[in-house]
Amino acid sequence: MRSSLHAVLRPLLALGLVGLLSTATRDAAACWDGWYAEVGVVDIHRGLDVAEWNPEHAREAARWGARIHALLPPGAALSIEWNEATCESDQGACGAVTTIAAGSEDLPAAFRAVAKVFQVPAAKVRKARALEPTLYTVQIFAGSKRRALAVKGHVAALDAGEHGFFVEGGFPATKQTAHVLRDPEAGGPHRVIVGTFLRRKEAEAALIGLRAKGFGGYVRTLPAGKAIDEASFTKMG
């Protein structure tokens, strides 16, 4: 069985938090603040004192989620929480491993702990450590800050878009699927992106849904830039 937090999250994911990972969530009070990601058979929960969507957190989740996924025996799944990781398998793939004393606060340490407990060969560990997933998104606007924020608000008003593999904020409070990234170059555009995806085909499917609600756009790799005007969740508020 997965851990207690995973057991709590799963019903929420079924009712709104896979609304969390696939569509926009509905209003609800927050139970915890931080981010949640699903990368293959690895899910990661990280609590934060102040949580607001950050593309670098998505990149970190994808990077270490993919690397840890590559270490696991076939048929095993791993839930990584604050101070431990829990292995689950219906086919006995976890062997004698139930919990691993390494959590989401230090994902490189969790990677090393998983490699050790499953006695992963050194060559496989090196190959897994080299993984660097490409993230995809749907860009629907690039231009002025004022207009970008208006477009972002319009996405929220229509309850449009999908989150993809990564969500950050208060759980299970409403979190927007659209984000504004300020270009790192001075004078560069403000881009409105919707969702963060591990596979291009998932982003393409999300684009179809956005077009059905009247938005144009295209699939691209997640661009560089700092997120602006993000909702901030703190102290479970």
Cβ 45 vs Cβ 80: under 8 Å? yes
- Specify the pLDDT at position 31: 82
pTM of this structure? 0.86
Q: Which residue has the tokens 């684009």?
A: 207
Please list the ranges in the chain whose pLDDT falls under 70: 1-30, 235-237
Element (H, E) at 109: helix 107-117
Using CA atoms of 101, 96, 73, 131 in order, give the dihedral in degrees to the nearest 10. Answer: 10
- Specify the pLDDT at position 37: 98
Convert the pLDDT of each residue in 183-219 to its tens digit. 999 999 999 999 999 999 999 999 999 999 999 999 9
The two counts, helices (H) then strands (E), for the chain are 7, 13
- Specify the pLDDT at position 104: 96
